[in-house]
Amino acid sequence: MKPCLISKEVLARQVYRYHPAYRLAAFLLCCFLLAQVPFVAWIVYERDLTQQRQARAAQLATDTARIGRERKGLADTEKKLKRIQDLAPILRARLPISALLGKIEQLAPPNLTLSKITIDAEAFQPIQIETGLFQAPRQIRIEIEGEEPVQGGAADPSNKLAQALLLSLPPGSKIADNSPVNGQRYKTFRLTLFAPTNGNYYGLGVTKLATQNSL
């Protein structure tokens, strides 16, 4: 039917509905827009993720600020703790003298007479603590001198002491010298051992503290 009494504007608009070219163009446009849906979904997902990240970052920043404020109150304690931690290499490089002497006393055979025990620190290394420079030993030298009776064919008591003491000292310890000098009735000996300062001395009978320091 002829479009009687219809305005040109309306007829022009109706061309968009029925002309194949416009329908095809609209179809292609809709297909294109439909193809963007996954991309838009990804954008939305990423945006959501970014917002979550930003919220998390903001929360972390708040927490950091709060922790920073709380930490300010602990600054003095931290300083003290740092000094203690700095002392650790020095404290580690120690020798429980009484335990060592007790062990020597315990291990020395009855027929062995000890005349001199020398315990000395060696191989010093410098350690910087705050403004001071400290020398901490890395090795302990133990020198035992004495006399033992001459016993033909029997085991050497000083050597026995040396082996027993070596077992009690930390791993890495070694016997440096054991040189008896024969006499008429007695022979003198000098036993030298080296022990590392940073080893454990449980073999000497030292035990851990029952409760851990709360520091």
Partner 1 sequence: MFNDIKTFLQEMPLPHYLAGGFLSTKEPTLAFFCGREQIQALAAGVRGGVGYETSLEKDNDAPPLANGQANLATGRGSRTLSRKLTSRYRLRRNVKHLFVVDPDKKDRFFGVDTLERMHQKDVPSALEEMHENPQQIFGNWPDQTPFRWAIVNREISLGLETIPRIDEPLLMFGITDEICASFESWSQTQGASIVAILPLPVAVLAWANNTLATKDRDSLVVVATDQGAVSAGFKRRSLIYISQEETASDAFSVLERETDDLGLDCPVRYLWALNHSEERRTIPEDLVIIDEENIQRISGASLALQEGHGKKIKHDRPLAHLLNWLVTQ
Q: Could you list the residues that contact partner 1 (CB under 8 A)?
A: 1-7, 10, 13-14, 16-18, 22-23, 25-27, 29-30
Decide whether 18 or 39 has the Cβ nearer to partner 1: 18
Smallest distance, partner 1 to C-beta of residue 63, A: 50
Smallest distance, partner 1 to C-beta of residue 37, A: 15
97 CB-near residues (< 8 Å, 6+ apart): 119
Decide whether 16 or 124 has the Cβ nearer to partner 1: 16
Smallest distance, partner 1 to C-beta of residue 12, A: 8
CA angle 206, 146, 148 (to 5 degrees): 110
Smallest distance, partner 1 to C-beta of residue 9, A: 8
DSSP letter at 1 equals -
- 98-116 CB burial, b ≥16 within 10 A, e <16: ebbeebbeebbeeebebee
SS3 117: strand
Smallest distance, partner 1 to C-beta of residue 64, A: 50
Decide whether 35 or 210 has the Cβ nearer to partner 1: 35
- What CA–CA distance (Å, rounded) separates 203 from 109? 18
Decide whether 3 or 149 has the Cβ nearer to partner 1: 3
Smallest distance, partner 1 to C-beta of residue 11, A: 9
Decide whether 32 or 133 has the Cβ nearer to partner 1: 32
Please, is 178 exposed, middle or buried when counting C-beta atoms within 10 Å of its C-beta (0-12, 13-18, 19+)?
middle
Decide whether 1 or 215 has the Cβ nearer to partner 1: 1
| Mode of pairing for the β-strands spanning 113-129 and 132-149 | antiparallel
- Calculate the CA 200 to chain-centre distance: 18
